[in-house]
Amino acid sequence: MLLKNAAALLGANERYFTVVYEGFKFKDESTLRDYIDFILHEPVEWIKGFPLKLRTRASFAKPKAAVIKLLKAPAVLEALGVTYCSKAHDVVWDTFKKHADDILDARVKAGITGGDDVTNEIVDEHGSGAAPAVPPSAADNLEEVTDISGEELPLPGATLPVSPWERKYHILRSVVTSILHDYRDNIGLTTAVHTLLAILDAEPLPL
């Protein structure tokens, strides 16, 4: 699978994916496996290559969220293999969780970040506007339960822009994903559930 074909699977979110691989001199015609191999070999350097204009914790997570979303896509699971995608998912997730805050804080302290996220062309490109601030605890699993181009999950007490069934699905999905993240004794079971969730994400939820 080529990078341009993988990016197309992300729809309106593809810019979060392409802007990073372009920064590392990968071409549209490069293979997705070569790019993921690079991420697996240099995961910290990959995170350091995120656009400088992503200044908040929520926006800084979006390129990572795009890759996580790709690694769950049925077409990618078929092209790269379930075991490979599961390994890549864990490396990306664990490395980001361990190093992202330090990398972002170092940028801010050194004054090397770009302009405000509100005017960031990546965040605003599809008319979604800047991502609203979210508490760190909610941001940890945010990309697992919402589309990364849309608005984040609302804070408690806020008006929900989704149906009650969709909200329940998001909550349940978040819980299941958190459980799977810590359950690695049976890789087959973990991978099967990830595949099921990816298929469910591709289907419209009942209203």
**pLDDT confidence bin for 147, thresholds 50/70/90:** very low
Average pLDDT for the chain: 73
Please list the alpha-helical segments (H only) found in the chain.
3-8, 14-23, 32-41, 43-48, 57-60, 62-72, 74-80, 82-110, 121-124, 136-139, 142-145, 164-182, 187-202
Report d(CA 173, CA 168) in Å as an integer: 8
Report d(CA 130, CA 142) in Å as an integer: 15
Residue 87 corresponds to which tokens in the numbers above? 């390994």
Amino acid at 173: R
Decide which of 41 and 183 is more confident. 41
pLDDT reported for residue 193: 74
Find the mean pLDDT for residues 171-180.
68
Four-point Cα dihedral 88, 43, 54, 85, nearest 10: -10
pLDDT reported for residue 107: 84
Decide which of 115 and 174 is more confident. 174
**pLDDT confidence bin for 177, thresholds 50/70/90:** low
pLDDT tens by residue, 92-131: 999 999 999 999 988 888 776 555 443 333 433 333 333 3
* Count of beta carbons in the 10 Å neighbourhood of residue 187: 14
pTM metric for this prediction:
0.57
pLDDT reported for residue 202: 61
**pLDDT confidence bin for 57, thresholds 50/70/90:** confident
Inter-residue contact 125 to 110 (CB < 8 Å): no
pLDDT tens by residue, 184-205: 566 667 677 767 776 766 655 4
SS3 2: strand
Report d(CA 173, CA 54) in Å as an integer: 27
Report d(CA 57, CA 156) in Å as an integer: 20
